[in-house]
Amino acid sequence: MKNLNYRNPVGVGKYTGLLLIMPFIIGFALFTLYPFAASLILGLTDYDGIYSPEFIGTENFSDMISSSEFRGAVGVTLKYTFILVPLKLTVSLLAALLLNAEIKGIGVYRTIFYLPSILGSNLAVVIMWQFLFTSGGLVDQLTETVGLPSVGWYGDGNSAMLIIVLLRLWEFGSAMILFLNALRDIPSEYYEAARVDGCGHIRSFFRITLPLLRRVIFLNLVLQTIAAMQEFSAPYMITGGGPMKSTYTIGMLIYDEMFRFHNAGYANAVSWAFFVLVTVLVLILFAVTRKKTEEDI
């Protein structure tokens, strides 16, 4: 956002704008700043959600670090994120390249490709996804037709995680739309010039498209990483975190500690640690992509 500096119209004081954005300021204080501070403070207490919190210092945090359950959940969440995000970015970019073609009926394809990302997090679809992978379900029948042995999808940790990865991968539409917009902004003259210079499709993809998409790739990377790190509803509904906690994400851990075991203090400590983890990850992404950018130039 360059150019936020407008001069006010004649007769408008410098507080009119401030007054207009007041809803945001109040909302930010109440629904972002307050919970953020509260979770740090509650994280330092022993609190069951009912009786008043009792200050216990950093005990929750040291418990957390030594807890194998917490470390397991961090491992599962990171593994899930590292598998899903690169796949999703690749698929959404390829789909955007396909859908950028100027051909008849392209609108229908765009709508179909986009639809799962709109419906996908609806609980109805999450429940359906669970049915698709039950033994004898649609996926088993399809693998059988091609002659593959039926795998017990829910019996093995890796395949259970794959069920959730596939669900979220299927919802690549929102990332695809961002890519599609960015692709449309690339002037076609660039490609024509490249063709004149004897550049093939693949080379012009790597030399023109990819560098020009750098900003939107980064945006998608950050958005998808944050979304994947927070994964809760799919493992909660589809696998219940199993088998053997192999799909037990941090989101599920926070929820369970808060509402099943009533350890509000501990749950808040985990939330806060989780926020730090996400921030660190995003900062690493920033650092790595910045470095890459400089190398390219």
Partner 1 sequence: MKKIPLYILMTLMAVVMIYPLLWLVGASFKTNDEIFSSAWFVPESLDLSVYKRAWETVTPFSMGHYFLNTFFIIIPKTIFAVISSVLVAYGFARFDFPLKKMFFALLMGSMFMPAIVTVMPLYSLWSKIGLHDTYVPLTIPALFAAEGAFVFMLVQFFRGVPREFDEAARIDGCGSMRVLIYILVPCIRPVIVSISVFTFLWTMNDFLTPLIMISSVEKYPLSLILRLSADSTGDGYEQKKIIAMSVIGLIPSVAVFAAAQKKFISGITAGGLSG
Cβ 200 to partner 1, closest distance in Å?
15
Question: Scanning residues 135 to 164, which ones bind partner 1 (CB under 8 A)?
Answer: 136-138, 141-142, 145
From the list 113, 153, 154, 248, which residue makes contact with partner 1 (rule: CB under 8 A)?
113
Cβ 190 to partner 1, closest distance in Å?
19
Cβ 30 to partner 1, closest distance in Å?
7
62 binds partner 1 (CB under 8 A): no
Secondary structure class of 54 (helix, strand, coil)? strand
Q: Is the peptide bond before 235 cis (omega within 30 degrees of 0)?
A: no
Say if residues 70 and 62 touch (Cβ distance below 8 Å).
no
Nearest to 264 by CA among 3, 35, 81: 35
From the list 75, 100, 170, 208, which residue makes contact with partner 1 (rule: CB under 8 A)?
170
Secondary structure class of 291 (helix, strand, coil)? helix
Question: Scanning residues 226 to 255, which ones bind partner 1 (CB under 8 A)?
Answer: 226, 229-230, 232-233, 237, 250-251, 254-255
From the list 19, 193, 210, 244, which residue makes contact with partner 1 (rule: CB under 8 A)?
19
284 binds partner 1 (CB under 8 A): no
Exposure b/e, 59-95, CB count within 10 A at least 16 = b? bbbeebeeeeebebbbebbbbbbebbbebbbeebbeb
Cβ 51 to partner 1, closest distance in Å?
12
289 binds partner 1 (CB under 8 A): no
Q: Where are the beta strands (DSSP E) in the chain?
A: 45-46, 54-55
23 binds partner 1 (CB under 8 A): yes
Cβ 84 to partner 1, closest distance in Å?
16
Contacts with 213 (C-beta within 8 Å, 6 or more apart), sequence order? 93, 179, 182, 183
Say if residues 76 and 253 touch (Cβ distance below 8 Å).
no
Cβ 54 to partner 1, closest distance in Å?
15
261 binds partner 1 (CB under 8 A): no
From the list 16, 62, 90, 158, which residue makes contact with partner 1 (rule: CB under 8 A)?
16
- Contacting range for partner 1; rule: CB under 8 A; set: 60-68, 147-155, 157-165, 225-233: 225-233
Nearest to 271 by CA among 26, 47, 86, 29: 47
187 binds partner 1 (CB under 8 A): no
224 binds partner 1 (CB under 8 A): no
Amino acid at 290: R
Amino acid at 278: V
